[in-house]
Amino acid sequence: MIAMLQKKFIKTAMLAITILLLVLLGAINIINYYSMEDQTDRLLMMLYEKTENKEMPPRPMLPREGLEGLFRPHISEDNALSARYFSVVFDTRGTILHSDVSHIAAISQAEAESYAASALEKKSFYGKVDEYKYCITPTPAGYTAIFLQITPQITGFLRIVVLSIGVGFLCWCGMLLLVVVLSKRTIRPIAINFEKQKQFVTNAGHEIKTPLSIILSNTEALELYQGESKWSQNIRTQTIRLNGLMQQLLLLAKMDETDSLQMTKQELSISQLLQQTIDSFYAPAQLRNIQIHTEIQPDIKLMGNAEYLSQLFSVLLDNAIKYTNTEGTIFIVLSQNENGICLQQSNTCETLEEMDTSRLFDRFYRADCARTQKSGGYGIGLSIAYAIVQAHHGTIHAQIKEPNQIIFTINFP
């Protein structure tokens, strides 16, 4: 239980840290991306102003135009001179009139004209062609296209992305180690309180067992001398019920104290163990005309504890027989596939109201208190089943398939 609580604490803390890192690094890279886009747009416009076409109108206003600052650094003349770009001038019909590739060595005049033709086909004044960002501006004679090489900017952006991912991963690993170390200290008060609670239940259970045995034996002696009466019957019934409750509580306490890794386990045939348990319940089922139908795949092996697994099957079957309506039906299916072992038990019952089926595994939870008392339940049988399944690294859940049918599903890895 304490180990499970520690794992949940670590998972919750790391989930919060992961979300925080993702939001932080994502925001940094998004801001960096838009800053890169804005810088290349302004550099493109500066290059547009430096072209030799004197007939060009004043430069247009680009998106994100505004005051320069920390995230919009000033672009100097040196930036423009060091940029790698080329320009192409063409008329209104798309015929190329002039191209200038003097500011870039990697592009020939023919390649520049090819890029210009590709940009015209996109029918957009702003865009990208390969590693070049372009801007097409109308002029009195036609159009002028400026192509800016943005490979250095993209490389710098990707470098920051990779570095941020690497630094984020290292920070995540460091936080994981820190959370693991601090989790033990954080849950220590809870662990101490939980241990005291378990010790109290165990001690109280053993202390109460002795007076219960004395009360029961004295009741039997009283009936032997004075005869059986309704008062002695009530004393015996309630004493037996209280004794059963204490046995269940002691079993729960034992399950809480048993580390699943230290539990004695061996490879056993879960098919055979389940069938043996079912055989012992045929008689009480026949008393209420309840039919038990089984589909048990033979020779299914599981590494587990035979005593606890037998207790698990007994709890489920006892619970089913108590709450199955007279002349009802219990279905038990055991199968194995590539995902593991699956045990399904369903039974018909009286019409069930809508409820949170996960609460059925809470200790002393009763969906219908009067019905539970009448059937002799203690309200902790399914809690024991849940603890046994958890100790075997399995899962158990319940669902109401129809208003008068409930299904318990257990999966073992």
Domains and CATH numbers, the chain: 1-186 (no CATH), 188-257 (1.10.287.130), 266-412 (3.30.565.10)
What's residue 119's pLDDT?
85
Q: What percent of the chain has pLDDT over 90?
A: 14
pLDDT at 375 over 70: no
What is the mean pLDDT of the segment spanning 329-352? 87
* Band of residue 63 on the pLDDT scale cut at 50, 70, 90: very low
- pLDDT tens digits, residue range 186-209? 877 777 776 777 677 666 766 777
Cα gap 335→149, rounded to integer Å: 63
The pair of structure tokens assigned to 284 is 């009480």
- pLDDT tens digits, residue range 225-236? 888 887 888 887
Cα gap 79→218, rounded to integer Å: 103
What is the mean pLDDT of the segment spanning 64-89? 68
155-178 as b/e: b if 16+ CB within 10 A? eebeeeeeebeeebeeeeeebeee
What's residue 37's pLDDT?
84
For 154, phi then psi, to 5°, come to: -65, -40
Cα gap 241→235, rounded to integer Å: 10
* Band of residue 64 on the pLDDT scale cut at 50, 70, 90: very low
Q: How far is CA 221 from each of CA 211, 229, 235, 238, rounded to the nearest angstrom?
A: 15, 13, 13, 17
What is the mean pLDDT of the segment spanning 137-148? 82
The answer to whether 187 touches 25, Cβ cutoff 8 Å, is no
pLDDT higher at 262 or 335:
335
pLDDT at 363 over 70: no
What's residue 379's pLDDT?
66
pLDDT at 373 over 70: no
Which of 103-112, 175-184, 259-268, 284-293 bottoms out in mean pLDDT, i.e. has the lowest?
259-268
What's residue 59's pLDDT?
43
Q: Which of 12-21, 179-188, 310-319, 372-381 has the highest mean pLDDT?
A: 12-21
Q: What is the mean pLDDT of the chain?
A: 79
- pLDDT tens digits, residue range 50-60? 664 444 444 44
**pTM of the full structure:** 0.53
The pair of structure tokens assigned to 112 is 């520049």
